[in-house]
Structures are given as C-alpha cells and as structure tokens.
Amino acid sequence: MLTNNLGFPRIGINRELKKASEAFWAEKISADELEKTGMEIRLTNWKFQKDAGIDLIPSNDFSFYDQVLDMIMTVGAVPTEYICLKNFLRNELLEFYFSLARGYQKEGYDLPAMEMTKWFDTNYHYIVPELVPGQRFNYFLKKPVNEFNEAKEAGIITKPVLIGPLSFLLLSKVRLKGFDRMEMLPSLLPVYIDLLSDLQKSGAVWVQFDEPFLTMDLSDVSKNLYKVAYKELKAEFPDIKFMIATYFGRLGNNTSLALQLPVDALHIDLTRYPEQLEEILRVTPEEMTLSLGVVDGRNIWKNDYKKSLGLIQSAIKQIGEERIILSPSCSLIHSPIDLAAEKRDKGIPEEVIPWMSFAKQKINELYELRNLSLNKDYTSQSIFIKNQEDINSRRKSHHLNNDNVRNRIENIGSVLQTKRSNFQVRKLKQQKELNLPICPATTIGSFPQTTEVRGWRQKLNKGEITTGEYRDLIRNEIKNAIAWQEEAGLDVLVHGEFERNDMVEYFGEMMDGFAFTTNGWIQSYGSRYVKPPVIYGDVSRSRPMTTEWINYARSLTSKPVKGMLTGPVTILLWSFVRDDKPLSETCFQIALAIRDEVLDLEREGTRIIQIDEPALREGLPLRKDEWDDYLEWAVKAFRVTSSGVDDRTQIHTHMCYSEFNDIIQHIAALDADVITIECSRSRMEFLDVFANFNYPNDIGPGIYDIHSPRIPSVNEISDLLLKAAGVISIDKLWVNPDCGLKTRRWEEVKPAITNMIKAAKMMQKKSIVESREQ
C-alpha cells in the first residue's frame, strides 16, 4: 500500500511566493531571484513530504501563477495575439508568462490578460486556454521535466502531475462558433508524447494525469476520446505507470469508462462521495490499482480514522492491499499549509484546534492511516485512540449543538409562510413609500476602500486607536459618501461599507459558530490569496451587525439608504464548512441570523434592504442532476432571510454573474423586488435571457464595468441602457454599476457615476416624452 499526494500548496508558509512575485512585477527583484524563491518552496515541500513518509510525491504541482497556464505554455498553446510579444520577450520567459495572466501594457504593446474563471466548484481561478480552429501545439515549456530533474538532484524521485489531454481540451474555449475543441486531440497528443518521453528519459516511474472531467456529464464523443487518447499514450509508454486523478465529484455514469482506461491507477474522491467505493470496487479490473482519496483536501477538519479505515478495510478485502494507494481527495492547494503556524492567543479557539488539520497534518494523516490499516489490531493503537478522542470531543462539543438554533431550524417552515403579497401589489406600496423616479439610479453597496480606510482598521487591531476613534473615522467617511451621493443625484444611496474588511468576514466575525485562522491562506488566483472563515458550530447572531452604521447614514439624508447584507449562500460558500451536517442546514442557520438582521433594520426604519448573493451561481453542483436539489435549498435560504418583512420594505439582491440562462426560473423564485447583476463585460449578452423569459420583478443590469479603471462616457452608458430597455420594460429598469466599487479609486468612481446618472436622466426624460406622445 503506497501513500500518495496529488499536489501540495505552493504559496510558501509565509506567503513567500506572493511577496516575491509582486516584487518581481514591481521590478524590485530579478527573474532569477523570483526563480530562486520558487525553487526553495519546491524543495521545502518535497523534503517535507519525503520525511513524512509519502511514497508518491508530486512535482510540477508548483506554479508561479496557475497550473493551467503552465500547461498552456507546456503544450505551446499561446493565443495568436501574444505570439509577437512572445518573440519580443523571448529572453524573458517569466515576464512573458505573467503577461498572459496579467496583460502587458508596455513598449507599445497593449495586450489584455487572458480570461480567467473558477476551477470547478472551488474558489480557485484558472486561466482559460483559448484555442483556434486548426490550432497547432508544440512541446514548448519544459517545466514538468525541469522540476522532475530538480527533485531528482535533491535525491527525490517524484511523480510529475500533468493536466490530462482531455481535461485540458474540455477546460479550453474556442472563440469561433461551430468549431469543436475536441477535434484538436490528434494534434495535441503528439506533444504529450514528446513530454512523456522526456520524462521517461529522466527516469519518471509514475505520471499523474488530472482528469477531473471524469466526474462530470460527458458527451459520447468525449467519452470515446478518453479511450482513444489513453490507449495511444499507454501504447507508447508501457513502462511508465499512469495514474488518472478524478476529484470533486463521483464517477457516476463514467464509472465503467474510467475503469476501462488502460492505466495503472485510478484516483477517486471518497470524502465527498464515499458511497461510490462499493460500486467501483466491484468492477475494478485486476490490473488496476485504486487510489483512495480519504483525506479531505478541501476542508480543514481532522480525518476521522474510524471512517477512513472502514473504507480502506473494505477495499483491502476486495482487491488486496497491494492494489491500494492512500491519498488526499484532491490536490492540497485548496487547504492552508500548517496548523502549527497558527497563533495560539488569537484566531482559532483553543478548543477547536485539535479538531483541525491543514496540508502538512493531512500528509501525516495519510502516513498514519497506512500504518494503522496494515495493523490488524489498530483500534488499540494509541494513534487511533487519540484521533478518536479528538473526533469525539468535536462531536460532543456544545458549540455544535445549540438548542435554540435547532428549534428554529425545526420550525423553519413557519418562517417561510410569508405574509408578503405578490410583487405587483408590493411594488405599488413600495412606490408610494419611496417615490422613486423611473429608472432609479443606485450603486451596489461599497465605495472605495482606500489605503487610509484600511489603515484605520489596522491601527484599531494593533491598539493604536480606540474603538471610539475608529468609529468616528468611519462615520466621517460615511458622511462624505452620503454628501457626495446626494450631490451627484443618485436616487437610492448606500453607506459605503467602509467598516467591512470583507463581505463575508465582517459578518462571520459577528456571528457565533465562526472562527478565523491567523495564517490560513489559500491561493484564489495568481498572487491573490484568501483566508476563508471556518464555520465550526451552530451559527447564530447575538446582536445587530449593521444597524448602527445604516441608521447613521440614514440620519444624514432624506433620500432612501439601502441596508446592506451578505446572503447566507455566499457566506456559506466562501467559508470552510462543517462536514458533520448537510450544507443546507448550515445555510439555513446563517439565513435565520441574517433574517434577524433584516427585521432589525426594518424595525429601525430602513425601507430598502439588499441581500447580496454573488456566489449563488458558482455554487451549482458539477452534475446537472444535482442542480435542482441545490437550487431548492439555496433559494429557500434566501427566502428565509427576506420573507419576514412588510410589503412596503423593498428587498434587493445582487449577483456577480450574468450567466443565468439555465437557472433564470430560480433567480425569479428568489422573489427579490430588485436584482442588480453584472453584465457590462459581456456587452449585455445576458439580455438574451430576458427576451425569452419574462422576468417578473425589477432589474438593474450593470452598465458600468467596475473591473476596469476606465471611465465610461455618457454615450456609452446610454447605449447599454437603451439596449437593456429593448428587452426589459422601462418601468422595471434600474440604473447601476455592475458590482461594488471598493476596488476602485474615488477619482474613477466620481466621474463614472456622474456619467451614469446623466445617462439615467436622459432615459427618464425620453420616457416621459414618449409617454406624453402616446
């Protein structure tokens, strides 16, 4: 029985990679210095895994930016518009590499960054390969073999990790319609052959091919190509051991396909889908080894040895221990590095620490699990006993079981029996209350989080200013923001969210059941890392979280000010979640806490309340047959937050994705009075949905792209607005940017919003004239 890892975090325990890459981008260090940092991180990781007793240690799991971008470079699939730059920067490979990820605006070039999107259902983002019809590939970047050799020199034989050819194609995009990316397999395979022969020459014994698409719905064409590709590759390299890695999902209807592939080992995720083991064991061919993903690579909980050993034992019984490999469920890049690096005096409560395990601890768990599973008498081993003590102390903790919260969850049905009337009735009542013009202008919530504002929070945390001083500074910022919004002519104002470090962390910090790591960083993309909150217990709110700020903002103006909240689905999906209960239940707990906040805001006089759900779309399960179940509880959770208010209180929501086509009914079922969405990037392409689906409530398609520093002109915004008015009736239309403005500077925000308001006013005039003419 071998132990195996699929990938180790590459950011460095003190975020060395971030610091070095950013210094390189700022031209403060040279490419060589950055390379050196990369090498140190790799060597540290390999040595750690070797010392920890891992047999199959991954290489090429390191990346300066993203593993898909590395693969794009490896197979020479650089999009044509960058070829010229590639020649120009031929002696500066790293600089060229980063320009694909970040764009290049120098020396007369003006190249945008390549598209980036979320990696399956994680919060990691990858660079999308862009292929053209007739795409040529060539074995360009020798990174996999270079890293293999580097480890070999340090005395460690590693298992290179490659994105498999099918998943590489399935991850990519072809811009021209009518061309199928899968047709490019015959031109891609020769590059894999070159690459593998290079690895073979260097002495690679195992190679890992990541093929996560085997856990998704596949077309018959793709299924067939899987067989074609691996048959061809294996025929060329009978002596290399192939491992195919699947993760994040179950093989489901691809089980027999996966088991037919002529490979030596198949890796499966048993933390999310332990039940798939039985079926797979039954049909695993004799020549195949199974890699059991028993240690959760996506969460921070200590492995329950009893549970894992149960799975391992049943595998041993059926196929024998020689054919079993023990692994984490997926690459550990989705997990923080080291629990031992957590500061003990703040951050995670002392009681919770023994319940947790980060990447390094997970590696040790694999080693211990192997030893235990080879010992017939494992239940009497002290390692096992200690593990079960920790697992039980978590299970029995009073934090996990708050009776009050449980009672509320049991009665959640009654909460959903809303007294709210249908939208038409509500709309009339709200209009009477709010007296808004046609095409009201508003923003999404946040205003610039300047260095100054963030500095105040740092000072507060360090004890350099008092809570009172901090409060006054924030209030002053709110005051300025309200004054500016009135002057600019917005119809519905916001307080600006200056007091929030992050839209999830802010609420998490104020609710029970949440904990925060001090060093639990995870790569989100490039040098951007996040530190997700940990939901460890039943969630509840003991005091109002936002009313004070909103009341203050309202006291400064006679215009309506929106109360701003983060929705339960987003709070859930952007945190590490409990694994001892269904996601839906934790989501309902958060929803009840947010509901209390909504009702507090309403009671104190807030007439418009926005509950943001930017993550709703990305939470969709990988398999379509699981969508309905997810959407049902996600929509229900939103309705728990909003269903308690009076007809006259207007509920807004905001979402960051415009790709709603396949879930538009569910978006409508949220029954928010107003929804604002992102779309100016896609040139309002999303509007097609509304041509086919009569969206019942009010809607504000974002018409100013806040992701770019550009200031759109009045004409440009007017055009987009007219386009929107073509499919959405004007009495349902709101005017707003496409997301919060926290990442922008006031110098950009002020002129852009001013232009947006001018466009809104033009639209209002036009509609008044038109209605008179009728």
Tell me the catalytic residues: 707
Please report where in the chains the tokens 């929106």 appear, as a residue.
562
Here the contacts of 133-137 (C-beta below 8 Å, separation 24 or greater) are 133/174, 133/176, 133/179, 135/77, 135/184, 135/187, 136/76, 136/187, 137/75, 137/76, 137/77, 137/184, 137/187, 137/188, 137/190, 137/191
Q: How far is the CB of 676 from ligand GLN (least distance, A)?
A: 9
Q: How far is the CB of 663 from Zn ion (least distance, A)?
A: 17
**Bridge partners for 56 per DSSP:** 4
Q: How far is the CB of 449 from ligand GLN (least distance, A)?
A: 9
- Phi then psi for residue 749, to 5 deg, are -65, -45
Q: Report what 445 binds from ligand GLN, Zn ion, none; CB cut-off 5-8 Å by kind.
A: ligand GLN
In the complex with ligand GLN, which residue's Cβ is closer, 700 or 740? 740
Q: Report what 663 binds from ligand GLN, Zn ion, none; CB cut-off 5-8 Å by kind.
A: none
CA 530 to chain CA centroid, nearest Å: 10
Site string for ligand GLN, 468-497 (x = CB under 6 A): -----------------------------x
In the complex with ligand GLN, which residue's Cβ is closer, 125 or 306? 125
Does residue 70 interact with ligand GLN by CB under 6 A? no
Q: How far is the CB of 677 from Zn ion (least distance, A)?
A: 8
* 116 vs 708: CA distance, rounded Å: 15
Q: How far is the CB of 445 from Zn ion (least distance, A)?
A: 9
User: CB nearest ligand GLN: which residue?
Assistant: 740
Q: Report what 191 binds from Zn ion, ligand GLN, none; CB cut-off 5-8 Å by kind.
A: none
Helix axes 305-319, 359-373, angle to 10 degrees: 50
Q: Give the footprint of ligand GLN on residues 724-763 (CB under 6 A).
A: 739-740, 742
Question: Across the chain, which distance is largest between two alpha carbons, in Å?
Answer: 89
Among 54, 71, 295, 503, binds ligand GLN (CB under 6 A): 503
Q: Give the footprint of ligand GLN on residues 87-116 (CB under 6 A).
A: none
Contact between residue 441 and residue 760 where contact means Cβ atoms under 8 Å apart: yes
Q: Give the footprint of ligand GLN on residues 575-614 (CB under 6 A).
A: 612, 614
Q: DSSP label at 10?
A: -
Looking at 179-187, 249-257, 323-331, 441-449, which segment touches ligand GLN (CB under 6 A)? 441-449
In the complex with ligand GLN, which residue's Cβ is closer, 20 or 591? 591
Please, which residues have CB within 8 angstroms of residue 655's CB and are 6 or more apart in sequence? 612, 613, 614, 616, 617, 667, 675, 676, 677, 678
Which structure tokens are listed for 669?
């079922």
Please, which residues have CB within 8 angstroms of residue 153's CB and are 6 or more apart in sequence? none
Give the DSSP H/E element, type plus range, for residue 360: helix 359-373
Q: Report what 481 binds from ligand GLN, Zn ion, none; CB cut-off 5-8 Å by kind.
A: none
Convert 654-667 to b/e letters by CB count within 10 Å (16 or more is b).
bbbbbebeebeebb
User: CB nearest Zn ion: which residue?
Assistant: 739
Q: Report what 233 binds from Zn ion, ligand GLN, none; CB cut-off 5-8 Å by kind.
A: none
Please report where in the chains the tokens 């480890």 appear, as a residue.
151
Among 255, 308, 446, 575, binds ligand GLN (CB under 6 A): 446
Contact between residue 73 and residue 140 where contact means Cβ atoms under 8 Å apart: yes
Q: Report what 482 binds from Zn ion, ligand GLN, none; CB cut-off 5-8 Å by kind.
A: none
* 137 vs 505: CA distance, rounded Å: 44
Q: Report what 742 binds from ligand GLN, Zn ion, none; CB cut-off 5-8 Å by kind.
A: ligand GLN
Q: How far is the CB of 656 from Zn ion (least distance, A)?
A: 4
In the complex with ligand GLN, which residue's Cβ is closer, 225 or 522? 522
Among 56, 564, 684, 720, binds ligand GLN (CB under 6 A): 564
In the complex with ligand GLN, which residue's Cβ is closer, 300 or 656? 656
Contact between residue 341 and residue 13 where contact means Cβ atoms under 8 Å apart: yes
Please give the size of the binding site for ligand GLN, defined by CB under 6 A.
13
Q: How far is the CB of 539 from ligand GLN (least distance, A)?
A: 21
Output the CA–CA distances (angstroms, integers) from residue 312 to 259, 297, 299, 338, 377, in the order listed: 19, 17, 20, 26, 14
Among 38, 160, 336, 445, binds ligand GLN (CB under 6 A): 445
Pick from 579, 449, 466: nearest CA to 506: 449
In the complex with ligand GLN, which residue's Cβ is closer, 284 or 610? 610
Which structure tokens are listed for 496?
């600006």
Q: How far is the CB of 510 from ligand GLN (least distance, A)?
A: 16
Binding interface with Zn ion (CB under 5 A): 614, 656, 739
Query: Three-state SS across 490-525?
Result: CCCECCECCCCCCCCHHHHHHEEEEECCCCCCEEEE
Which structure tokens are listed for 363?
């590696």
Q: Report what 612 binds from Zn ion, ligand GLN, none; CB cut-off 5-8 Å by kind.
A: ligand GLN
Looking at 38-46, 198-206, 409-417, 438-446, which segment touches ligand GLN (CB under 6 A)? 438-446
Q: How far is the CB of 206 from ligand GLN (least distance, A)?
A: 41
Q: Report what 712 binds from Zn ion, ligand GLN, none; CB cut-off 5-8 Å by kind.
A: none
Q: What angle do CA 629, 631, 632 make, to 5 degrees?
A: 65
* 725 vs 764: CA distance, rounded Å: 12
Residue type at 188 in one-letter notation: L
Among 444, 622, 637, 672, binds ligand GLN (CB under 6 A): 444
Q: How far is the CB of 443 from ligand GLN (least distance, A)?
A: 7
* 549 vs 474: CA distance, rounded Å: 9
Q: How far is the CB of 390 from ligand GLN (least distance, A)?
A: 36
Q: Give the footprint of ligand GLN on residues 634-663 (CB under 6 A).
A: 654, 656
* 704 vs 716: CA distance, rounded Å: 9
Alpha-carbon dihedral sign for residues 273, 275, 277, 279: negative
Please, which residues have CB within 8 angstroms of residue 313's CB and are 6 or more apart in sequence? 373
Looking at 216-224, 278-286, 442-450, 534-542, which segment touches ligand GLN (CB under 6 A)? 442-450
Q: Report what 564 binds from ligand GLN, Zn ion, none; CB cut-off 5-8 Å by kind.
A: ligand GLN
Site string for ligand GLN, 121-140 (x = CB under 6 A): --------------------
Q: What angle do CA 758, 760, 764 make, to 5 degrees?
A: 115
Q: Where does this chain bind ligand GLN (CB under 6 A)? A: 444-446, 497, 503, 564, 612, 614, 654, 656, 739-740, 742
